[in-house]
Structure 1
Amino acid sequence: MNIPELYKIFQQNPKICTDSRKAEPNSIFFALKGENFDGNQFATDALKKCSYAVVDDPEVATSDRYILVQNALTTLQNLAKAHREKFSMPVIAVTGTNGKTTTKELISKVLGQAYKVFSTKGNFNNHIGVPLSVLELTSEYDIAVIEMGANKPGDIRELCEIAQPTHGIITNVGKAHLEGFGTFEKIMETKGELYDYLYVNDGTAFVNYDNEFLEDMNPPRKTIHYGISRFTHCQGKLIADSPFVSFRWISTGEMVFDETELDWSDKNRYVEMNLVGSYNFENGLAATCVGNFFDVADKKIKNALESYKPDNYRSQYLKTDHNVLIVDAYNANPTSMKLAIEDFVKFDAKSKILVLGDMLELGKVSSREHDVLIHFIDDLNTFEDVYYVGDEFYNLQNDTTKNWFKDLKDLTAELKKNKLRNKTILLKGSRGMQMERLIPEL
């Protein structure tokens, strides 16, 4: 079946399902494959509730309710492309090594003050999540904000072809997913695929003027700058970052060269967020810049940023019965680890403890990057104690701390035995480490 024919079926059954357990009436099941599963095996179960099943195994297609295609994933992506082309709304793509989900959430919150906004749910940001997100677009939305993640070169280019962004933002570039990329230069090249797409398609990029890497990545002709520099369209000043980030901002419209022309006194341009870590200043300012570009009123930008409360273990400030926790355990890589630790050094608190889990998906450089981080922490000589957990850290243990643990089970047992009390604790590690499981012991 070709895409135009499938699109007609989609219009009558506008819900997409990839999990047979979540199938529902008037939906289409796509039999996707993974390393440990084959969706074709579940198509019959899905059809007990849904209308059609798109499969790529001829032996499964035993009736006209099975739609046989060459590749179910490619068909899903091509269907999403066809659907995207039905809309002329602005689509803002958000990518970057760190902060893309938080920035996506903040942008959506800000734009939501003036528009009906579609936003990627959670971190549905890969080759499956993006087409699923695009297929949820309807004419009721004014703007879409689509998060894009990448594990290897070419990923962002592929996602841009599906979502066809009119605007875009790269939050930053750093060391992450090196297992798939190989080098930092490849990461820059891959993230820069968003700029390449916008350049060719006359799109607009929002660029952090203070980030030297982003300017080197050849932004498109239409560029709106933000940052602390006065040579920006949206300029900010960090006021505080402990415990929460607050900042002031101004909109110059055009780049201003005379400092006396700038008025920082407007109370509606002072923001107190519920996010910890100075790196969230950049995320907040990015959302401010986008909101300003789309003519969201200053007061509404302020209200949106101040009402946003993080969840999912991203930059969360938690008070337990015994300690203060900074939980940044959704993900970790060498760049985000260093930024979080540097911020924690400046955090206004006594008895500061680090509890760090392995950084995953670093490939051949994993041991080296963990060793660099350990020495960085040793040289700081700032914290009351440091707890390391995971194979990578455990294999590099030295005598600067006695707290080296192979897994969470061992660390949990230690925390039950020797409890931490009246401490301020940074809890950070890669998603696969599930560092939030330690919270009940802290």
Structure 2
Amino acid sequence: MIFLTEPIETSAQYLLNDSRQLTSPQRSIFFAIKGPHHDGHQFIEALYRKGVRQFVIETKACNDSLIKELSKMKDCSIWQVENSILALQNVALNHRKKYNIPVIGITGSNGKTIVKEWLSTLLANKFKIVKSPKSYNSQIGVPLSVWQMNDSHTLGIFEAGISRPDEMENLEKVIKPTLGIFTNIGSAHNEFFPNSVAKIREKAKLFANSDALIYCADYVEMDEFIKQEFIHENQRCKLLDWSRVLSSGIRVDWQIEEDGTSIQVIGDKELGTEVWESERYKTHFKDEASLENITHCIISMLHLGYDFYEIQSRLHSLRPVSMRLELKEGINDCYLIDDTYNNDLAGLTIALNFLGQQTQRQKKVLILSDLLETGITERNLYQQISQLIIEKNIEQVIGIGEVISRNKDLFPNALFFRNTPEFLESREISQFHNALILIKGARRFGFEQIVHKLVQKTHGTVLEINLDAMTNNLNYYRDKIGQDTKIMVMVKAFAYGSGSLEVANLLQFHGVDYLAVAYADEGIHLRQNGIYIPIMVMNPSPADFEKIVTNNLEPEIYSLRILKAFSEFIDHQNRVAKIHIKLDTGMHRLGFEKKDIPELIETLRSNPNIWISTIFSHLVGADEEQFDDFTRSQIRLFNEMADPISAGIGYSPTRHLANSAGIARFPEARQDMVRLGIGLYGVAVTPHDQINLQTVGTLKTFISQIKTIPVGETVGYGRRGKVERETKIATIAIGYADGFDRGFSRGVGEVLVNGVRCPVIGNICMDMTMIDITETQAQEGDEVIIFGKDLTIMELAEKIQTISYEILTNVSGRVKRVFYQI
């Protein structure tokens, strides 16, 4: 087998690193990446069968089996490299060299994506812009972003993020920014750096060859590093540092007003920016994070030659940025994917890929607006979109806008409307049934009106599920257990309150080995909605055997009684079935005891139609150090019981013993497979694990009404909330019927309002709760966080002496779940 070597020269249109995101095989080059969680080399043959003919492989993956596989593939170009990610970056780097246009590079701890999106909106009147789609700022995301550049573009805006040392240098080579923006510095990824200056130093490498750098000098460590160290490395870089408190540099003043904020920017003679002194810019934003981001944008525009009046007129177009793809339940048994902030070709491709991951409904619908500021000729653009839609098997397309309507001949059997009101007034808006609907539109088309019309109406309390965080947690545990250990994930009890179908769909997409549910009906629901991976039913009953076998579910068998009943059922049906043998090693809940083993083996051997898929048990106290000796005795007993079973039946079923706590604290308990439960949802038993997990669920509600209560009055049922001072209270739209436990009444519980902790006052009602907001500024309609990243379920559980599981699973079914991916 003869491989090509770098440099990689390709005419491919698509750089592909995930086989599941294949769009156009003939126009794709696949970079096989061998990582800690997945090995892309496993999917080369499947991609070849689908038509891909260009591959990049890693030397370390070239074993005899792979070389034999590759030798059978004809008419292919295969490059062998040391590192596929570096090869991907080099391909993008060589592509970037073709274009001599200004490029804005953005990094920082927060605000990168918002600044990029706002700058794209603000500068669109003068430039044809290419930018990072969504938050594509990683070692892979940056080269994929830069690959979009073409001859029509006059400005690039790319963000770059790093989490570890020695990552930014490669990204700088790919982006080569002429103007840099360092948004801010925070605590994210601190664990990978000895101190914050080391992290600033790494991020600042993005600007090693930039002509100018914009940053806020009020971040003292950042300012000191840039002026004392960075500027000596890049002496020609013009520092456009701004401050609200320092007298040097560009001075900025924010004045919060009733209807928004006025921002004044006063230049510095030494910087050559004294002409920037101006009237005050007006914006409707008031929060500090947004004002910081807007200030970066204003100074960028001033640097690029915009005058006050141009900037002010453009600022009026800014809106809050929602960079999330949100999955919501819709009317008529539909699911909606809400992506209504902006619309470009890269973003559309990402959204269509997300749509393709969903299996809840077979029929797939796309509601699409005109694409704006793509830098591609109109006809070519809509030809590409048409091809994308065909390849993604979209059954129905609705186009909204004058431009897409002009190209309707490219979309057979599609419907077109000139604008959003015309579509909303048509009969089509009520005709969707049992479908997955992607709603993808540029901001000016107001597609949020379509979402509002189609979303299932519930009260305003929502549980937001971060699918990216869940993926992070899954991969963290995968890395911990290694590639040789399988993983079963618990999705019982509505996936711990998070939404079993949506969670199962994500897990299936990421290739987990097994799912586990408590009851047969839970498994049947998953099967009926496109979940095809193996599912274990943990509490089957004889009445469910027919449904279990018919739906290809696998029952847990925990006693001789139920084993014999299932054996008789299988014999009578003349079927073959897989089962899971549960052993009792100390939980004393369900499971075979040691004395049952001989009869268990005899019964299993007498029925060849039953295949034992796994043998397992459950650790009682793996999360508590005081029970470590007992846990180790459980591990020994499990093996003592499992060994004779394997010997007696003549084969070795998969063994699993470790739950989330066992995975963390007892490597010897991991066996052939582990069962991941609460860890997937962001709760760990060790501080080290907790640092590496991300918050998955955020429970939110809103303020319904605000009142001021005089001293001596009481609040709520039973007059239990006595007011000791003049108190401002807010009534929020959540109660114990929604899962906000009554134990949080009378000051035990707190909620977050605009970042301030506000105690519960009085007794929690069925549908409402009153809180004391005297210490914060709030208005009716403001968002209230019940639990999330800054007020964790672990903290809530501790307040009422319960466990995190109960806080999660108590969230009522009437609370709307919104699933999102960044």
TM over 0.5: yes
TM-score, reference length from structure 1: 0.69
1:304 and 1:327 map into 2 onto residues whose CA distance is 32
- Listed as ranges, the matches of 1:1-400 within 5 Å are 1-4=4-7, 6-7=8-9, 10=10, 12-21=11-20, 22-24=22-24, 25-47=26-48, 48-56=50-58, 57-58=61-62, 59=67, 60-62=69-71, 63-70=74-81, 71-181=83-193, 183-195=195-207, 197=208, 201=209, 203-218=211-226, 219-220=230-231, 221-228=237-244, 231-233=248-250, 235-240=252-257, 246-250=261-265, 252=267, 254=269, 262-264=277-279, 269-273=281-285, 277-309=287-319, 310-312=321-323, 322-323=459-460, 351=730, 382-384=758-760, 387-388=786-787, 393-396=792-795
For 2:192, what is the secondary structure of its paired residue? helix
User: Displacement, 1:172?
Assistant: 0.8
1:181–1:139 distance in 2 versus 1, CA, 3 Å: same
User: Displacement, 1:138?
Assistant: 1.2
Matched, 1:411 2:808: yes
User: Displacement, 1:144?
Assistant: 0.9
RMSD between aligned alpha carbons?
4.5
User: Displacement, 1:13?
Assistant: 2.2
| Structure 1: segments with no counterpart, 5+ residues | 338-343, 356-373, 421-434
1:354 and 1:34 map into 2 onto residues whose CA distance is 45
1:202 and 1:263 map into 2 onto residues whose CA distance is 27
User: Displacement, 1:322?
Assistant: 5.0
The answer on whether the counterparts of 1:246 and 1:271 sit within 8 Å (CA) in structure 2 is yes
1:107–1:389 distance in 2 versus 1, CA, 3 Å: closer
1:118–1:30 distance in 2 versus 1, CA, 3 Å: same
Letter in 2 for 1:228: R
Say which structure, 1 or 2, has more relative contact order (CA 8 Å, 6+ apart).
1
For 2:180, what is the secondary structure of its paired residue? strand
For 2:118, what is the secondary structure of its paired residue? helix
1:292–1:20 distance in 2 versus 1, CA, 3 Å: same
1:46 and 1:107 map into 2 onto residues whose CA distance is 38
| Structure 2: segments with no counterpart, 5+ residues | 232-236, 326-340, 342-451, 470-690, 696-701, 707-727, 735-749, 761-770, 772-784
1:30–1:405 distance in 2 versus 1, CA, 3 Å: same
1:154–1:104 distance in 2 versus 1, CA, 3 Å: same
2:256 and 2:789 map into 1 onto residues whose CA distance is 36
1:327 and 1:299 map into 2 onto residues whose CA distance is 40
2:170 and 2:244 map into 1 onto residues whose CA distance is 33
Further displaced range: 226-235 or 210-219:
226-235
1:26 and 1:193 map into 2 onto residues whose CA distance is 34
Further displaced range: 70-79 or 13-22:
13-22
For 1:206, what is the secondary structure of its paired residue? strand
2:463 and 2:100 map into 1 onto residues whose CA distance is 41
Letter in 1 for 2:219: N
User: Displacement, 1:163?
Assistant: 1.7
For 2:254, what is the secondary structure of its paired residue? strand
2:303 and 2:44 map into 1 onto residues whose CA distance is 46
For 2:810, what is the secondary structure of its paired residue? helix
User: Displacement, 1:104?
Assistant: 1.6
1:281–1:391 distance in 2 versus 1, CA, 3 Å: closer
1:303–1:53 distance in 2 versus 1, CA, 3 Å: farther
TM-score, reference length from structure 2: 0.39
The answer on whether the counterparts of 1:389 and 1:411 sit within 8 Å (CA) in structure 2 is no
The answer on whether the counterparts of 1:55 and 1:66 sit within 8 Å (CA) in structure 2 is no
For 2:70, what is the secondary structure of its paired residue? coil
Letter in 2 for 1:293: H
1:232 and 1:209 map into 2 onto residues whose CA distance is 8
The answer on whether the counterparts of 2:197 and 2:221 sit within 8 Å (CA) in structure 1 is no
User: Displacement, 1:311?
Assistant: 1.0
1:216 and 1:282 map into 2 onto residues whose CA distance is 19
User: Displacement, 1:225?
Assistant: 2.6
**Percent of aligned pairs with the same amino acid:** 22
Cα deviation 1:66-123 (Å, max 9, x = unaligned)? 4131232221111112112222212211111111111121122222221111111111
